[in-house]
Amino acid sequence: MKTLGIISEFNPFHNGHKYLLDKAKKELKADLAISIMSGDFVQRGEAAIMDKFSRASVAVKCGFDLVIEIPSFVTLQSAEFFAKKSVNILNKINIDYLVFGIENINTDDFLKACKVIIENEKNIDSKIKSLIASGLSYPKSHNKALLDFVSSDFLSSNNILALEYMRALYKINSKIKPYPINRIKTKNEDQSIIDKNFASSTAIRNNLDNDIKSLIPIESYIELSNFMNEYKSFDYDYIYKIFKYKILIEDYPMCKILGYEQGIDNYLARLARDNNLYNNFIDQATSQRYTKSRIKRLVLNYILDNTMELNNLDLSFVKVLAYNNKATENFNNLANKLNIVINKSDLKKLKITDLLVFNKMIEASNFYNLGIGREIDYDFRHNNRPI
C-alpha cells in the first residue's frame, strides 16, 4: 500500500490544495492520503480563518483519508522547526511520499538546489549567524546566505518551507521520498486575486467580502460560510489585553518561552505601554531583526506558556481531527508506533509527556474558542466520527 503525506494549514482549503492532492494521488497511485495540519493557530502566528475540525472535515471531503493535528507549540515556531517536527511525526506514521508545492523552479532544479544547500550547510549557517549579528532577521539572513549557492528564483516562502522539509528528511535519514509539485496560476505570497480559479490562501482571506466561490471547492465554501455565520471573527485585541496584563502587570518571565531572545521582553513591554491596539503594537514591534510573524508567535507562546522544554519531548501519539472509513481500516498500522487519540477515552493510553502536549493543544483550542465567542472544550464535544 502506498501512502502520501502533506503538511498543511488549509487556511482555507482552496483549489490549489485540491490540485496538489489530486495530482499526487494520480501520479503516485497512492492508496491512502494523510495530512498533518496546524490546529486553531497557524504558523504565521494568527488565528485560523475557521477552526481545525472544520478545515479537517473539508480536507477529508475533498480527498484526504486522514487529518492529524500538529501540536500547537510546533505550529507556533519558525519554518525550520515546524518542518522538522512535522516531518518527524510523518516519519513515525511510515508514509511513503511527502508531497509539497514549489514555485518558480522545476522539480529537478529544486532537488539539485536543495542538495547543494544541504552539502554546504556549515558555511551557510556561519554566514547566517554573522548576518543576524549585524541586525538582520533570521529569514532575511537565511535568504541572503542562500544566494551564494542558488538563484534568486529559489527564494520564495513556498520554496524555503519546501527546503526545510528536505533538510528534515535528510537529518533523520528518512525513507520517505520527497515529491515536489509545481504550483499553478498563482504564487504562495500573492496578496490579491489574479486568476478566476486559483488564488493563494492569503489572497482569499484578503477578499472574503468579495465572491470567492470559484476559488475554493464547494465543500470548503459551505463550511467557511457556515462558520463565519455562526461565530465572530477572532478578536485580536482580546489577545493583546491578556498579553499586556501578563507582561506589564503580572510581570510574568518570558525567558523560557519559545521564540524568546535576550532583551526582547523589555523591548515588547516598552512598546506595549505606548500602544492600546494590537495591530499598532505588532507594526511597531516589527523591525529588521524581528519579523511580524515572529512577534505574533512569541505573543501567543507567551500567553499559552509554551516553554522551550516542549521541544525536547519525543511524541508518541497523534490527535485525529477527521478521517474516513478507509483510514479506520489502517489505524492498526499507525498504532504500531503511535497512540491514536480520537475521543477523550483515548487519553488513558498516553504517557505523562504526551499528555502534557495534548493538554497544551487543548489550551490553545480553548483560547481560540474564547476569541471567536464559542464555549470552551469544544474538542471533547465535537462529534468525531468517520466522514
Binding site residue list: 7-20, 101, 158, 183-184
- Cα 219 to Cα 64: distance, rounded to the nearest angstrom: 13
Strands 66-70, 317-323: pairing kind: antiparallel
Nearest to 163 by CA among 146, 175, 148: 146
CA distances from 36 to 10, 16, 83, 174, 387 (A): 10, 17, 11, 17, 17
- Cα 71 to Cα 84: distance, rounded to the nearest angstrom: 13
- Angle CA(384)–CA(35)–CA(170) in degrees, nearest 5? 145
Residues 67 and 37: beta-carbon distance below 8 Å? yes
Q: Which three cell numbers stand for residue 154?
A: 529559489
218, 222, 228, 230: CA torsion to nearest 10: -170
What long-range pairs does 261-264 form, CB within 8 A, spacing at least 24? 264/290, 264/298
- Cα 128 to Cα 138: distance, rounded to the nearest angstrom: 7
Annotated binding site for ATP: 7-20, 101, 158, 183-184
Q: Which helix (H) or strand (E) holds 236?
A: helix 236-244
- Cα 41 to Cα 9: distance, rounded to the nearest angstrom: 9
Q: Which three cell numbers stand for residue 27?
A: 501520479
Task: Report the DSSP beta bridge partners of residue 35.
Answer: 6, 67
Query: CA-based Rg of the chain, rounded to a whole angstrom?
Result: 20
- Angle CA(40)–CA(266)–CA(262) in degrees, nearest 5? 80
Q: Which three cell numbers stand for residue 115?
A: 542538495
- Cα 348 to Cα 116: distance, rounded to the nearest angstrom: 46
